[in-house]
Amino acid sequence: MARVRVRLFAKLREELGEKEIELEARTVGDVVKALKISHANKILVAINNRLIDVSDAKLKAELKEGDVVDLMPPFSGG
């Protein structure tokens, strides 16, 4: 397990009532479970400011001590 910082943006921030959370997790999936995010397949994930693949594989992305995980709703507009 690694201690990571999770930053929440837009609607996720409003839903969870937090801007930033620290927790222990092994994978991005662990973060999603810990935060009880039910629509994980519809969020964008960045680890250390690098957007990761939007497939289900993102939930298996391994985390290291001190990583920063950003969770964001999909962007829209035009």
CATH number at residue 43: 3.10.20.30
77 lies in some domain: no
10 lies in some domain: yes
pLDDT > 70? residue 13: yes
Give the integer Cα–Cα distance in Å for 27 and 75. Answer: 24
Instruction: Look at the chain and report how many structural domains it folds into.
Output: 1
Q: Which domain holds residue 30?
A: 2-72
39 lies in some domain: yes
The token pair that represents 76 in the structure block: 């829209």
For the beta carbon of residue 69, count every other beta carbon within 10 angstroms: 22
pLDDT > 70? residue 1: yes
pLDDT in tens, 16-70: 999 999 999 999 999 999 999 877 778 889 999 999 875 666 788 899 999 999 9
Instruction: Tell me the pTM.
Output: 0.88
78 lies in some domain: no
